[in-house]
């Protein structure tokens, strides 16, 4: 029997809405991964203190960010985990402010170390067509590409506005679970 228990998966929730559509979907991906033997962890960006990048280039000069905040601990978790499940709802065609603050802090050159990390994107939104997610998908796929990271899959959930509405989208819930499961089963890192 193959042992998949070495893979670590980190879910990162970019929505401020607790038990909202993003969290429900990320949890579903994590359940699939955990069922396949992974160790899973979850962070909610809205509960962390993450300051905005000041473009001071301190990280380029000293290798250290000028901010001493929760991003330091989060970066350690990110480094430990092979697979990240990055979830953000669409706010005005883009990711949430919480998610963008987090993303801007990937600027430090040390984050070239993200190379080879594997990512699942989770993006719920109220509009009924995938086009409403195109800018957010564009930003995130370009960033992953730029940092030589691997996109495993993207879970889009159009047509979900109210808290928990995604539970009614059985196909999307199923896909989320299966993507988490497959990411571990197909993982060469285990
Ligand atoms: C400030 C704000 C802006 C939003 N902008 C968009 C938008 O541009 N397009 C869209 O389809 N939905 C938009 N929505 C709806 C959310 O994407 C949707 O309710 C989503 O399911 C929220 O996910 P959550 O439950 O994880 O917070 C917006 C919601 C808020 C609060």
Could you tell me the CATH number of the domain that includes residue 61? 3.40.50.360
Residue 148 Cα distances to 19, 91, 114, 124, 184, angstroms? 32, 27, 8, 25, 20
Q: Is 187 among the domain residues?
A: no
- Name the 3-class secondary structure at 187: coil
Of the candidates 45, 55, 100, which has an alpha carbon nearest to the alpha carbon of residue 78?
45
From the list 139, 150, 142, 85, the residue with the least C-alpha distance to 114 is 150
135 domain-assigned? yes
Q: State the Cα–Cα distance between residues 28 and 170, nearest whole angstrom.
A: 12
DSSP E strand boundaries for the chain:
8-13, 39-44, 83-87, 118-124, 150-157
Domain membership flag for residue 1? no
Structural domain count, the chain: 1
Cβ–ligand 1 contact at 128 (below 6 Å)? no
Q: Distance between CA 121 and CA 16 in Å, rounded?
A: 17
- Model pLDDT for residues 117-175, shown as the tens digit of each residue: 999 999 999 999 999 999 999 999 999 999 999 999 999 999 999 999 999 999 999 99
Query: Is 150:186 a contact under the CB 8 Å cutoff?
Result: no
Task: Say if CB 167 and CB 17 are below 8 A apart.
Answer: no
Residue 126 CA, ligand 1 centroid: distance in Å: 6
Within a domain: 185: no
Structure tokens at 150: 């691997």
Relative to the CA of 13, which ligand 1 atom is closest?
A: 26
Which candidate, 160, 156, 96, places its Cα nearest to that of 126? 160
**pTM tops 0.85, yes or no:** yes
Q: 34 lies in a domain?
A: yes
Residue from 150, 94, 164 nearest 123 by CA: 94
**Domain range holding 146?**
8-164
In order of 67, 75, 76, 105, the CA distances from 55 in angstroms are 11, 18, 22, 10
| Residue 96 within any structural domain of the chain | yes
Do the domain assignments include residue 189? no
pLDDT band at 2 (very low <50, low <70, confident <90, very high): very low
pLDDT digit string (tens) for 66-124? Answer: 999 999 999 999 999 999 999 999 999 999 999 999 999 999 877 788 999 999 999 99
Q: Is residue 181 part of a domain?
A: no
Whether 93 lines ligand 1, by a CB cut-off of 6 Å, is yes
């Amino acid at each position: 029997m193959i042992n998949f228990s070495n893979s670590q998966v980190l879910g990162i929730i970019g929505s401020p809405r607790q038990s909202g559509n993003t969290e429900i979907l990320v949890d579903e991906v994590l359940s699939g991964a955990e069922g396949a033997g992974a160790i899973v962890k979850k962070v909610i960006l809205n509960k962390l203190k993450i300051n905005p990048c000041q473009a001071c280039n301190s990280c380029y000069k000293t290798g250290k960010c000028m901010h001493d905040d929760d991003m330091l601990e989060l970066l350690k978790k990110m480094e430990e985990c092979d697979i990240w499940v990055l979830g953000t709802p669409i706010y005005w065609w883009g990711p949430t402010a919480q998610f963008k603050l987090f993303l801007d802090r990937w600027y430090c050159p040390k984050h070239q170390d993200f190379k080879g990390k594997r990512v699942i994107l989770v993006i719920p939104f109220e509009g009924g067509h995938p086009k409403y997610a195109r800018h957010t998908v564009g930003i995130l796929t370009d960033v992953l590409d730029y940092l030589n990271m691997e996109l495993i899959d993207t879970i889009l959930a159009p047509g979900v506005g109210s808290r928990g509405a995604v539970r009614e989208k059985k196909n999307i819930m199923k896909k989320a679970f299966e993507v988490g499961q497959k990411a571990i089963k197909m993982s060469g890192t285990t």
